[in-house]
Chains A and B, each alone.
Chain A
Amino acid sequence: MAELAVDVGRLALKNPVLAASGTFGYGLEFRPFLDLARLGGFVTKGLSPAPRDGNPPPRIVETPAGMLNTIGLQNVGVDAFLEDKLPALAGCDTAVVANVFGETIAEYVHVCERLDQAPGLAAIELNVSCPNVECGGMIFGNDPRALGEVTRACRRATRLPLWVKLSPNVTDITETARAAEAEGADALSLVNTFLGMAIDAERRRPVLTRISGGLSGPAIRPLAVWMTYRVARTVRVPVIGIGGIVSGRDAVEFLLAGATAVQVGTANFLHPAAAIEVLDGLEQYLAQHGAKSVREIVGALEVEAPR
């Protein structure tokens, strides 16, 4: 049996399979379906300073091999997370990563500071796909400078490992990747959802209330693998691959492309034990290929040089 442990920077994970933010609630919801201790870790629903109600429905629609969502970052707020959710996760024996977002840098910093001393938290992941209220609603993650500023401020606000989750809705993802790395990110997770739109042709209206939504699911996997490959060749910090992973083979694609770990997202909706299925599939792949450790396949892509 191959060794599965990986190090994402200074954070040691028992295996490279995590569950992605926004698809795994606060972890507790999955207890009826899987043993959390088998996961490398999971990332919580994005936490803001105060609870948020989210957007009016309809919020989701299925699309070919994927889905669009406009949930609007509905969450219980960082205080309720610390009081109600995190204590209930004590002893779950997996890495709990808190996803954090704000509409101003001060909000990001506030949430990071609240989480910094929380017992049992393994890392913080910044969701930067949020409009920057101070900067005319520009998305933090779309601008390398704004992304660098929020990363730097959060870096000062916590001693926990800091991951930055990159948006794919940019011209060149290696620029935002470099900005986050330069300001102290311990790891980069990518990608968040792609902006997309579905139209009800009969009614001549957008299907979702907010017109556009974030596209996720197997439809985005090749896009995400390509971005993972490019970023992993650009930065020195570890990369965590995300995008349409539903099987062990899908996870292997990201690892070969250079990701140290992966996050399973939309698949958690399809099968509540999907992350375990991905882990089992990864183990099978490693066994079939005689690998002693999963680390052997990280970045092990073989590319023929053009002649």
Chain B
Amino acid sequence: MPRDVTTTVLRNLDLGGGNYLVEFADPEMAAEMQAGQFLMLGIPGSETLLRRPYSVCGLPGTFADAPRDALQLLYRVVGRGTALLAALRPGAELRVLGPLGRGFTPASADVRHVLVAGGIGIAPFPAWIAALAPEKPILLYGARCAAELTLLDWFRERTSELVLTTDDGSAGRGGFVTEPLDELLRATPKQRLRLSACGPEPMLRAVARLAARHEVECELALEAHMACGFGVCLGCVVPVRRGAGPPAYERVCVEGPVMRAERLAW
């Protein structure tokens, strides 16, 4: 059951390259929240009107140095809302509504998970990787440049394979993250893989196409502008397939943010 709580910033770490990690604690939310779910975060007294949706990055147990009952959100400063969040110091008030939406669903035991992240789309994956333990999934992680890649030591320890790509070739392979994904899918029997992807929409569309072509199960963690986060504003919809007719609209905040790739009518 989602709750609306006021809490305070425990840590707000500048991870470099424009990435930040904010941490706060709430026992009930920490106990209920699952990887891939999100929350709506507001800054009391801030100039912005609407809260902003953030997927949960860290749950209890994800980060070894975190205090009890703490949750972490990984974010990039891209606009006014994230700039205001980045300016908060420990002790600052946060208004948090969550847990919200549907998270990732685990596949059956003999399936290997392949995680595909683009840019700040890496945000939900620490919690998801921690939930998959003791399995160590494969992580394909792309960004525009080396500086934008984050938490690399954490991922190296907890993945069986970490493939990095950058648009400018400054780290890992040059090019898009979908290229190593295509190679991996060609090289592996399809029944053995499950994809989870999060990132910019063009990347998600490309991942969905590859998953369809190789007949691999695929879940996408979507992002959308939303006013409420709990299903009433209807602002965050995406088109989904509905038989032969025109697409229906489903809410990223309730029917998502994690949705099966083949349902989307892109």
Q: Give A contacts to B, CB under 8 Å.
A: 23-25, 29-30, 32-33, 53-54, 56-62, 65-67, 69, 71, 74, 217-218, 266, 268-273
Contact = CB atoms under 8 A, between A and B. Distances in A.
B232 A29 contact: yes
A66 B232 CA distance: 17
Given A269-B227, A273-B4, A67 B50 contact: yes
A60 B4 CA distance: 22
A269 B246 CA distance: 29
A291 B44 CA distance: 31
How big is chain B's contact interface, by range?
Answer: 20 to 34
Contacts of B49: 62, 65-67, 217-218, 266, 270
A224 to B, nearest CB: 16
A29 B48 contact: no
What are the 3 closest A-B residue pairs judged by CB atoms, nearest first? A60-B235, A269-B228, A25-B232
A24 B239 CA distance: 23
B128 to A, nearest CB: 25
A272 B230 contact: yes
A57 B237 contact: yes
B234 A74 contact: yes
B234 A71 contact: yes
B225 A61 contact: yes
Contacts of A30: 232
A269 B236 CA distance: 13
Interface in B225-248: 225-228, 230-239, 246, 248
A29 B228 CA distance: 11
Interface of B: 1-4, 42, 48-51, 95, 97, 224-228, 230-239, 246, 248-249
Contacts of B231: 25, 29
Contacts of B95: 271
Contact of B228 (A59, A62, A217, A272): A272
A288 to B, nearest CB: 23
A53 B232 contact: no
Nearest to A56: B239
A71 B235 contact: yes
Contact of A60 (B42, B233, B246): B233
A59 B233 CA distance: 10
A272 B4 contact: yes
Question: Which one of B2, B4, B227, B238 has the highest number of Cβ atoms from chain A below 10 Å of its Cβ?
Answer: B227
Contacts of B249: 53-54, 57, 74
A61 B236 CA distance: 10
B181 to A, nearest CB: 26
A123 to B, nearest CB: 21
Nearest to A69: B235
